[in-house]
Each structure stands twice: as C-alpha cells, then as structure tokens.
Structure 1
Amino acid sequence: MHGYASSTASRSEVLGRLTLCGSISRHPVSTGAAMHLAGYRALGIEFTYIPFAVTDVEGATRGMRALGIRGLGVSMPYKQAVIPLLDELDPVAARIGAVNTIVNDDGCLKGHNTDWIGAVRALEEVRPLAGARALLLGAGGAARAVAFGLAERGASVTVANRDLEKARALAAAIGGTAVALGPEALSPDHDVLVNATSRGMAEVDPRSPIPEEALREDLLVMDIVYKPMRTELVEAARRRGATAVHGGRMLLHQAAEQFRLYTGREPPLDAMDAALRAQLG
C-alpha cells in the first residue's frame, strides 16, 4: 500500500515505519491534509498527516519534540506565537515575522514561512517578478508574507490599505511605497495586482476590492482568497482580458514547499492539485 505497512504487519511495525506530519490550528479542519496525503500516496512514501486542534501552542511544540513529529503547518492565530518557542528561524521567516511551517530535525525545531513562496511561485507560473511593478492590497499577516516575497524576487511594491499607517509600516519594511486603498490605487504603471485582503471571501464580503473598469488586459491579477476560487476579482479580471491567478495556486505551492521540507522529495504537484480541487470543489 502507498506509504503504509501491509495489513498483516503488527501495530508496532506500522507505527515504527510511518513518519508523522500535521498541522496546528484552532479547528481540526485542514486544506493541507488532503494535498499532503495525496502527495505521500503518489510517491509511495511512508508518511502520514494529521490536523490537530490546539489551544496550548507551547504544549504542542513540546509534544512535537517528544513525539518526533517531523513537520507541522501553523495556522492563524499561532503564526507569531510559535516563534519564541522555536530553536531557529529561516531568515525570510524572521524578516516576515511569521511562521507557517515547523520542521523537526532530531529535536531541533526550525520555523519557516512558505506562504511567500506559494505566492511568488503562483505568479511566476505566468511571468518573472524581477522588475515587476506590483500593487498589493492589504497590510495584514497574509499581505506581509506576499510583500516580502515580491520584494525578495526583485519586484517594486506599492502597498494599499484602508489604514494608511499600516500600509506605510509594511512598505517601509520592504523598501516599497504606500497609498490609500481605493479605485485610484491601481495606476497604469502597475503590471501586477495582488489582493491580500479578506474582501472577496464569501463569508466576509464577496465584492471585488477593485472596480472592474480599473482592470486592464495587460495586468497579471492574483487573488489569494480561495473560498471561492472564482472570486469577483478573478472573474472581473478575466472579463477584462487580464491574466488571472486564483488563490488555490498559492495554497498549492505553499503546501508543496512544506512537502519538500518534510520529505526531502520533489512534490507531485498534479496529485496534490487534484486533491485540493476535489476538496474545495
């Protein structure tokens, strides 16, 4: 069987062969689980993945060491809370100030951030980012990861947010500029637009954060919202002839980087993507 001991093996043999990964969040529902499990099955490797509902983050990290859990994905609101509990931080994760992935190497816990990698790889499927002029909507935790990713790849970034002071603080951290969030934020100079606000989420506000008439066919537009995948912004961009990237691509690529970190293997993107699409519909 793919990644698992045969049905005739003893329980101790099964537990001895499996490598455990998982995630910690307030709720035991994980979009990552389906992707990781599909990847393990596709490669036939002896890993498994369990989402954990956690209220005690410090206890969870102690348990990770004690139980030898190889990797944990970290969801909000724990992406900052785990940092002082770790032994080491990846340099980009340290600059972002948030961790969404913990890797356990013989009891040494290292924090990574794969959110920024997911964002830039989703965009780089379409075009290189070096020299791009990007408008980033939002200045929260998700926007921060995207902003650092864009800057890391050599894009110039304008941060637009309703709270202009927050936009200025994020822009200063990456060497970008800041503007107020509104229809006029998108200028003819911008060739990449990324929505990293909650606007577009079905359960928050399904409306697009940018009017359709402001979009152009020469734009690359990405919405990191993935529920629904076809947000109003994505649909508006397609109607205007722009190239649109839905949030599922960022989600896929951030999980794929976690897969690399946990297993040391190249992730089977097709299998992981199919699992994600099946889960999100």
Structure 2
Amino acid sequence: MDITGKTSVLGIIGRPVAHSLSPLMQNAALEAMGLDWIYVPFAVREEDLPRAVMGLKTLGVIGFNVTIPHKTAIIPLLDRITPEAALIGAVNTVKREGDELVGYNTDGAGFIKSLREDLGFDPAGRRILVLGAGGAARAAVASLSQAGAAVVAIANRSHGRGEKLAGEFSAVFSGTQFAAKSLDISLFNSEVQNFDLLVNTTSVGMGESAFDGLDISRMKQTASVYDMVYAPWETPLLAQARKAGLSCANGIGMLVAQGECALSIWSGMEPPTGVMRRRILTVLNR
C-alpha cells in the first residue's frame, strides 16, 4: 500500500491498543476495495482523551474505532450519537460528517450478524440467557431485543446490576420479557435447560479462567452457546458445549462483523465478504 499526500486516515483509539486485530483486518479490506485509505492504532490514555479527540478532528481523520477504556467516556466529546449508541450507552465507531464527529455502536449489529452466520441462530421468538451485565452485555441485550427475542434473562454476580439492566430495557422493549438472575451455579444449572441460547459477555474464559461448576450439558440439544471471548480460540465454556454436542461459536465472528459494519459506515460501501475474516484467521493460524 503506497501512502501519499492524498491518503485518508482511519484508526482505533484505546489503551492498550497494540494487541488489536482491527488494523490487520481493516487494511486488508481497504486494499481489496481499492480505497486510498489507511487504518492505524492510536494509544490514548484516559486523561488525554479530550485532546486526542480534538486532535483527530482537527487533523481531518475520516473515522475511527473506540475500544477500552473510552467507549463511554467519549460520548460527551462527540457532536452527536445515534439512538442505538445512546441505548447501549457506548460508542465504538466514530465518523466525521462535515464538521461533526458522530458516534455509532456496531457491536450489537455485529453480534446478531455473527449469531446468524456462525450459528444459524435467529433470536426472534427465542429464549436467551446472557452472562454478565457490563458494556458487552448491554450491546447483546439491546440487539437481541431489537431482533425480537421473546425472553432475555441476565445472569450476573452482582444481582443488582442485572436487575438495573433488565429494568432499563423493559421500559424500551415491550415485546421482550426480561429477567435478572444471580450467577449462582446451582440455580443456573437448574434453569439452563429453559433457554435456546447461552451468551457469555464476560471476560471469563480468558487465560485459565472458567465458570467453576457450570454444567451446560443440561441444555437441550437444539440449544446454542456463544462466547464473545476468542482468545483462547476454544474457551472452557465452548469445550463444554462441544462435548455436549451443542452448536457453538466464539467471538471472532462478532469482531469481524462489527468491523465490517464500521467500514460500511465510513465508506458508504459494503466491504467484500470474507476478506477481514480470512486475514484474522491467517494471523491466528486458523
């Protein structure tokens, strides 16, 4: 890729950001699309975020992704955000529109696209159990509700946080029944058979961590398991699912799909199918 004075810049801001796979997959797609654009990482400390956003705006960067820990903190620094980003309470994609910086959230759309493509799962009319009540859970719950889920139950170690999330979305989505549950393993194991999909939105599964005592073999054979964690490739939760013969997938599809959605927002074009995924799988030796 030749960088000239006409090359437009995209990027990602966060801290840490050196581990991000986004530059690899985005640049692969940009090259395939023939765009004279380049996507680069910017490590930004929390205290430097206001100046960084102003700097990106001043420099004419056409858009950028936002990752931990800035997804919520960036909201008041933008000129406006979309209704979906407001509902989720986080921004992961910013586009320069004229003189304005506009915040979007593509995590929810990426999650639903991955469910459909990687698991063949349509949330409409289904019963879904979400583990966690943080930012990733908000995106999952919002998108599942928009897709017509019949029941969304939120299981979290802090029951109060799950109750707050369930109550908040109950006021918005009248067609979905919400429930909050404590992530008590004995209670979990007695109820898990009632759901069509189990979604892990927490960091449990990274490194050596696991949900001790969780038994998903109790799930019905038609159920599916989705783990947003993708490093390691097969988490303990997914290993259990495979052993039980359940359809399952990790979060790599969501990573790719939210990136494709972001690039579509920036460019107004659909990225070529499979380019981002193939680039990531090559890097991960998959």
Alpha-carbon distance between aligned partners in 2 of 1:66 and 1:45, rounded to the nearest angstrom: 22
One-letter amino acid of the structure 2 residue matched with residue 65 of structure 1: K
In structure 1, distance between residues paired with 2:272 and 2:83: 27
Equivalent of 2:76 in 46, 62, 84? 84
- State how far apart, in whole Å, the 1-side matches of 2:124 and 2:88 are: 19
User: In the alignment, which residue of structure 2 is the partner of 1:33?
Assistant: 23
Q: CA deviation at 1:207?
A: 4.9
Unaligned runs of 5+ in 2: 171-177
Cα distance in structure 1, aligned partners of 2:184 and 2:218: 11
Aligned match of 1:210: 214
What is aligned with 1:11? none
Q: In the aligned structure 1, how far is the partner of 2:122 from the partner of 2:243? A: 23
Gaps in structure 1 of 5+ consecutive residues: 6-13
Distance in 2, Cα, partners of 1:210 & 1:91: 36
CA contact (8 A) 1:43 1:268 kept: yes
Residues 206-250 of structure 1: CA deviation (Å, up to 9, x unaligned): 457832433332111100001112111112112211110111011
Paired with 1:28 and 1:227, the residues of 2 have a C-alpha distance of: 16
**Hey, what does 2:231 align to over in structure 1?**
227
Distance (whole Å) between structure 2 residues aligned to residue 168 and residue 78 of structure 1: 25
Q: Is 1:199–2:191 an aligned residue pair? A: no
Aligned to 1:145: 139
Check 1:246–1:40 CA distance in 2 against 1; reply closer, same or farther (3 A cut): same
Contact (CA 8 Å) 1:237, 1:243: kept in 2 or not?
Answer: yes
Moved more, 181-190 or 271-280: 181-190
How far has the Cα of 1:27 moved from its partner? 2.6
Q: Give the number of aligned pairs.
A: 269
1:246 aligns with 2:250: yes
Q: Deviations over 1:151-195 (max 9, x none)?
A: 111112100001100010111122211111133334332101100
Counterpart for residue 23 of structure 1? 12
Is residue 45 of structure 2 the alignment partner of residue 51 of structure 1? no
Deviation of the 1:267 alpha carbon: 1.4
CA deviations over 1:11-55 (Å, ceiling 9, x no partner): xxx122x12100001134221111101101112211110000112
Whether contact under 8 Å (1:260, 1:267) holds in the other structure is yes
C-alpha spacing 1:54/1:38, structure 2 compared with 1 (3 Å): same
What RMSD over aligned residues (CA atoms) do the two structures have, in Å?
Answer: 1.6
Deviation of 1:97 after TM superposition, in Å, equals 0.7
What letter matches 1:20 in structure 2?
Answer: V
Maintained 8 Å contact 2:132/2:202:
yes
Find the counterpart in structure 1 of residue 161 from structure 2: 166
Instruction: Judge conservation of contact 1:36–1:255 (CA < 8 Å) in 2.
Output: yes
Q: Distance in 2 between matches of 1:209 and 1:177?
A: 22
Question: In structure 1, what is the equivalent of residue 179 of structure 2?
Answer: 177
Contact 2:210–2:237, Cα closer than 8 Å, also in 1:
no
> TM-score scaled by structure 2?
0.89
